[in-house]
Homo-oligomer: A and B are copies of this chain.
Amino acid sequence: MFEARQRVIYGDTDQMGVVYYANYLRYFEHARNELFRAHGSTYRAFEGLGLMLPVVEAVVNYRAPARYDDMLLIGAEISAASRVRLTFVYQVRREGEAAVLCAGHTVHACVTTAGKPARLPEYVVQLVSSRAKGEP
C-alpha cells in the first residue's frame, strides 16, 4: 500500500490533545494526491483533462488518537473503479508502529468541469488493475 507522510501540527489538534476528527480527511486528500504522483501523474494533470473527482462519500473509523508532532504514514490505494466512480481506501499509522489509528474510504465520481458525469481515463482504471496484479 502506498504511504504518504505527514507531521501533525498544533493546528491539527483540538483541546482534547488529539487530532481533530475532520483533519483526517485532509490527510486522506494528501495521500490521494501523493498516490497519483507515485504513479507518475498528478491530480492537477487530471484536472488538466477537464475532469474532476468530487467526493460523494467519506467514511472514517477512528481507533486510536494521533497526537501533536506524530509523524503519520497515510496508506492509500484505489480499491475499486467503475467507469465513472473510484474508491480509495486509507489507513493511518504512526511511523514505526503497526497499529492502525484511523481507517476509512472515500468514493469519488468522475465528472467534467461542467459537472457532467464522465468516464474515468483509461490510465486511472489501469491503476486499479495493476494494483490487483501486485504492481508497483
**Chain A residues near B (Cβ < 8 Å):** 7, 9-11, 13-18, 20-23, 25-26, 29-30, 33-34, 42-44, 52, 54-63, 65, 67-69, 106
Contacts and interface: CB of A to CB of B under 8 A. Distances in A.
B68 A62 contact: no
A104 to B, nearest CB: 8
A56 B52 contact: no
A26 B20 CA distance: 9
A55 B14 CA distance: 13
A55 B21 contact: yes
B33 A11 contact: no
A68 B22 contact: no
Contacts of A58: 21, 58-60, 62
